[in-house]
Every structure is written in structure tokens, then in C-alpha cells.
Structure 1
Amino acid sequence: MRATSGVSSASFQRTSNWKSQMGSSAAARRLVACLLNISEARSRDTVEKVARAAACKQYGRWREGTTVLNIFSDRGYNRSVITIAASLDHIGDPAAVAGEAVLSACEEAFRLIDMRGHTGVHPCLGAVDLVPLYPLGGDVRLEECGTEARALATRLTELIPGTSAFYFGSADVPLHRGLAQRRKEMDWFRKTTDVSCIQPDVGGKPDSRYGLTGVGASPYVMNCNVTINTEDLSIGRKVATALRGSTPGGLPGVQVLALPHEGAVEIACNVESVQGDPPAEHWPSFSVGGAMFYHVPATMISDHIAKLAGKHGVGMVGTVVVGFTPRECRGLAEHAISQGIGEYWRQQHSVRM
């Protein structure tokens, strides 16, 4: 599903929906989210089985304090993002609860997805390609999520022989290297990498069936994909380079790939949260462990890409936010968990690709 122009209205509609659902009496919760990236989108049954594994315990019982908020699948990329959220503030550690849900989802994904037959445009190394844990509340610390990410990777590689992982962010102790740097080191961007030649941080030699998984923790990373009306990938790459936060004049915290997509070019953006006070009032902000973070608004990303593409005589087709903004994710998680809705994603058809 691609919006015809501007930022997808689904994102803004969701914001008003969860505000009305939550009301003013919702109690604050300690919340953790995982935007689980798996290398499968063409089998809807497989993707939904992985999502259900996160929400359900054995014998089909719902996992207390856990919800699957969204599934976002792209057939061309053959990649899905499953948004899992967890809270167990009345007992103890929300990160540990998130770890149990994510571990179950990873087990199911490794059981069902075989990388030896995988095809798709998007770079990837593993059947479970990325396991990022994000704190959603001001009183959940990055260190907690980093510790749980390391424990999760260890348990996963012990549980399923042949699986292996590399750490990033707060799980990468003591260096705390970011995801983009770690992916470069693992040759993730080439997609043709022989994983058996890679030395993982945890687990044995990567098996070609399972590939290699990135496991880590960081402040929330939003995904924003913008389609421009051209098949010329060189134009997309020029736009991506100018947009990156590492480029003078680029947008802070924005990491970008230009990829061929359904007869056009998609500017796929990872929008990292940046520590500090927002540069303007309209920039969204939130607190993690007492520290303030902000991220670039999706509308600003759209506007920048429209201008950059326009310099090459190319128009913009549309923008889609994959999943949710940090505020949306927290609000929906509070609502779904308080209502005991394990498969909240079934109510979110408007945001599925």
C-alpha cells in the first residue's frame, strides 16, 4: 500500500484514535517495544504465525502484559516489521517480559524461514534480521534494554544451534557502536555476503539457513519510506546522500537507503532519536531514563525529499510511516495492554502494506 501524495493520513488518524481510546485516566506504565524485522513478507501465514508467537504462550493463552501492535510487510523487499510491546510494571522488569515475547517470535521465525531460498531487494543477513529493543517510558533505562538484549541473544543462540548474532547500541558493551556502523562491519548492505565468513558476537559459525541476526537496544528508531517517481536509482542515491544526518545540511538522526521498489525508487529512512532538546517546538520529543530525545517529523522528511528530487525533475509519489512514531507506539501499547488485547495489529489494517 502506498499513499498517493504527502504523508500517509493513517499515521495521523492513529494518533487521534489512541488518544480518544486512552482518555485522561490511563496509568503510566513501564514499557518496552521491539520492532522485529524478519526476512519474509510473501507468505502472510508465516508472518502472522511469528506475530502470534509473540502474543501467545503455550496452549494459545495470551502472554500477560504483551501486545503485537502492528505488522508491516513489503512483498518486493520480502521483509516484515512486527511491532511488539510489553509491560509488567506491577511485577518487575518489562524488558524481561519483552524478551520472552521476542524470543518466542524469533523461534517461530527461525523454524519457518529458510534464508537459502530468500529473494528480495532489501539488504538482509538473517531470517530474523534485526531485534531492536526500545524503551517507551521515561523510567525505563537504555541499560536495562541493553542487558536484556544480550541475554536474549545468548538464550536464542543456545536454544537454536546454528543461529548467531551481533550486538549494537546499548547491547554492544563497552563500545556502544550504532546499528549502521555494525551493519557496515558485517557487510549487511551488500546482501550477497557469505555469512559463514562472519565472526559473530554470540553463537557459533553462522548457518546459511538462519543467517546472522542483529540484536541490540537504542532510543526509538522510526521508519519512514518515501517513494519518488523515477526508476533511476542514481537519482535516488543522490537524494539519499543529501538527506543523511551525516551530510552537511542533512536531517539529524536520519539514515537512508535508496532502493528500487515497484517500478519506482523508495527512499527508505531510519529516523533515529537524537538526545537533547528539540530544535523547534513542532519536533516530537520524549524522555528515556531522565534524558530528553527528539526525532525529525515525517512531514519534514517528505518536504526535504520533494525538494531534493525536484532538483532532478522528479516528483514524489507518497510517504508511509512504518508502524508508529514513538508517542503513537507508547499510547497504543498502553491502551492494548490495559485492555488485554494481545493481537492489536488485527485492528490496524490501514497501516499494513
Structure 2
Amino acid sequence: MIRQITDTIASVDAVSLLDVDPGASTNRTVVTLVGNPDAAVEAAFRAIKKAAELIDMRKHKGAHPRMGATDVCPFIPVSNVSWEEAIACANRLGKRIGDELKIPVYLYEKAAKDKARSNLSVIRAGEYEGFFEKIKQAEWKPDFGPAVFNEKSGGTVIGVRDFLVAYNVNLNTKSVRRATSVAFDVREQGRVKTEDGTAWGKPALDANGEPVRIPGALKHVKAIGWFVKEYGIAQVSMNLTNIEETPLHVAFDACVEAAAKRGMRVTGSEIVGMVPKKCLVDAGRYFLRKQRWSEGLSIQTKR
């Protein structure tokens, strides 16, 4: 099935398929392609159309939050493309998906028409199962496509954003609850404060009746805890949305520290999809310095 989808991408001239990263527990595949704006839009449409033909969301289960056969499709201007051009690509693709495939489409991040819906996690809240009712609300009318949930294909989120790093840190536990505690410690959103200070206590509310939050250690980080069946361990699954402000190695060290405070150890980590080379070089230099080893890198490698 994955090959059938990626073959549609490869069939488009001026597009290169860079990476295909499937995950069994998440039941989700991250595909990375690069091309000029017109070619990228065409390749994305063909892939989304094929996914809609092959994937039945009524039968889909997975550890990762999701709302459709093609859950999310971001455009990232890499070089010689402006933000405005990328936003135009997102709108062209969204309209075509809505018109031709009859799939509800929401725009997010820099492409968002409604700033209250710019955050992917806000759009995806309730996931596939909850969208049958959510889409009936006036504030959740799609940007493109019918205001009726597509039972087979679900909905799709399309947007424009900067580079994002999907990064999972392994813990020496199988407990999702304990992994989630570490995720709450490190993610920017943190956790909801409770009146008695316990995880299961009554939420503390502010003057407006909204839950009071205790922020986590890292800016520009989203995180959840989950169990990965094929590894037999729990992970802290993170999205790093600003790798200049919070780079890979800072996120790793924060998880090590938070896990240790809770009596756990970090046993490894994995990158999902692709990352800018600079992320890896910066991490390598950081850990070499931390271990008091010589960097031994050429000027070209450091770039």
C-alpha cells in the first residue's frame, strides 16, 4: 500500500522522493518530497488521492493522533520560494482536494485563514472519531470541501510551516503514564495545575474559569507519551517546532533530566522523517564537547 502511494509521487517530473518512514505502532508513514511549487502540488495531490482510495479510516487504529487517511500535508519553502508562494500552494492543493476528492480540508500554521485554527493539535483534537460531530459546529466549517465528514477518508490538514523535527526518546519503562509525566515536564504547554498538587486532583482554575497550566521546560516543543509495541518500551514523542530556539540535543538532555527525577533512564532515541544537517552537526559538536572530546570537524562539515 505504501509503495502504491509513493509511486504516484515518483511519477511526477521535477519531484524527488527523499524519504519514506513507516511506523508500525503509530500505523502512520511520513513521506518527504521536494520539487518546484507546481510539481510539489501535483505530487501531493496524487498521493492524497491514492491514499483516499486505499485507506479506510473506519478500520484504522494507531498510537499517534490522526484525523484522516492523509492526516497532514505541510509545505516548507526550502530555497528560492517565498512564504507567500508556499501559502498559495497550500490553497491550491486544499481547493483541489475539497473539490475533486470531497474531503474536508483545514489550513494551518502560516496558511491558516482563521488564526484560532492555526495550531495543528487544536484542529486535530477529537481525532477521526470526534470529527463526525465537530465538523457540524460553525467554527469548524472546513476551509475547503464539504462540511460533512468523509467517513472513509476523514479530513486533511494542509499548511505552511518552517522545518519541524519529529523526535522520540526511549525510556526504560513500559508505562505510558510515566512517559506522559516526562512529556508534561518538557513540553512548552506543560500540565494542568491541580488544587491538591496530584496528577489526579481537581484542576485549578483562573479568574476566567480556565485551567491554570504549569509550563514545561522547553519552548517550541509539543510532546506526548506512548507505548511502542515493536520496541516493547514507552517513549516521549516530541515535535520540535523551532530548532534554532530548542535544538535536538537540548530536547534530549531535558528528557534525560526529567526521566532521572522520576526514577527512569533514557535508553536511546530516534528521528522520524528527515532533519536539516545542521541539527545533527550541532548535536554532535555539543556531545563531543560535553564528553571533552575534540570536535575534529572540517569547516565544510560544520556548515
- Is TM > 0.5 for Structure 1 vs Structure 2? yes
For 1:300-328, what per-residue CA distance to the aligned partner results, in whole angstroms no more than 9, with x for missing partners? 22221111111111111211111221347
Structure of larger gyration radius: 2
**Tell me, which stretches of 5 or more residues in structure 1 are unaligned?**
1-45, 57-62, 87-93, 274-283, 285-293, 330-353
Paired position in structure 2 for 1:265: 234
AA paired with 1:266?
A: Q
1:52 aligns with 2:7: yes
Q: Which of the residues 187, 210, 219 maps onto 1:252?
A: 219
Paired position in structure 2 for 1:123: 65
1:169 aligns with 2:138: no
Alignment of 1:52-201 (within 5 A): 52-56=7-11, 63-86=12-35, 94-137=36-79, 139-161=80-102, 163-173=103-113, 175=115, 177-184=118-125, 187-188=126-127, 192-195=129-132, 197-198=134-135, 199-201=141-143
1:319 aligns with 2:265: no
1:220 aligns with 2:163: yes
The CA distance in 2 between the partners of 1:249 and 1:112, in whole Å, is: 40
For 1:221-252, what per-residue CA distance to the aligned partner results, in whole angstroms no more than 9, with x for missing partners? 11111121212222111111111124445222
Q: Which of the residues 284, 295, 300 maps onto 2:250?
A: 300
AA paired with 2:152?
A: R
Question: Taking every aligned residue pair, what percent have the same amino acid on both sides?
Answer: 26
The CA distance in 1 between the partners of 2:124 and 2:276, in whole Å, is: 23
Whether the 8 Å contact between 2:109 and 2:118 is mirrored in structure 1 is yes
Larger RCO: 1 or 2 (CA < 8 Å, sep 6+): 1
Paired residues in the alignment total 246
Q: TM-score, normalised by structure 2?
A: 0.75
Q: TM-score, normalised by structure 1?
A: 0.65
AA paired with 2:149?
A: P
Whether the 8 Å contact between 2:224 and 2:236 is mirrored in structure 1 is yes
Whether the 8 Å contact between 2:66 and 2:124 is mirrored in structure 1 is no
Whether the 8 Å contact between 1:146 and 1:169 is mirrored in structure 2 is no
The CA distance in 2 between the partners of 1:106 and 1:249, in whole Å, is: 36
For 1:128-184, what per-residue CA distance to the aligned partner results, in whole angstroms no more than 9, with x for missing partners? 1111111112x42222211211110110121213x1111101221252723233334
Q: CA shift at 1:195, angstroms?
A: 2.9
**Tell me, which stretches of 5 or more residues in structure 2 are unaligned?**
136-140, 191-214, 280-303
Paired position in structure 1 for 2:151: 208
The CA distance in 2 between the partners of 1:155 and 1:192, in whole Å, is: 24
Give the alignment's Cα RMSD to 1 decimal: 2.0
The CA distance in 2 between the partners of 1:218 and 1:77, in whole Å, is: 23
The CA distance in 1 between the partners of 2:45 and 2:52, in whole Å, is: 11
For 1:68-114, what per-residue CA distance to the aligned partner results, in whole angstroms no more than 9, with x for missing partners? 1111111111011011111xxxxxxx222211111111111111111
Q: CA shift at 1:197, angstroms?
A: 4.1
AA paired with 1:68?
A: L
SS class of match (1:128): coil
Paired position in structure 2 for 1:34: none
SS class of match (2:71): strand
Whether the 8 Å contact between 1:196 and 1:207 is mirrored in structure 2 is no
The CA distance in 1 between the partners of 2:30 and 2:278, in whole Å, is: 16
AA paired with 1:300?
A: V
Whether the 8 Å contact between 1:195 and 1:212 is mirrored in structure 2 is no
Q: Which runs of 4+ in 1 moved over 6 A?
A: none
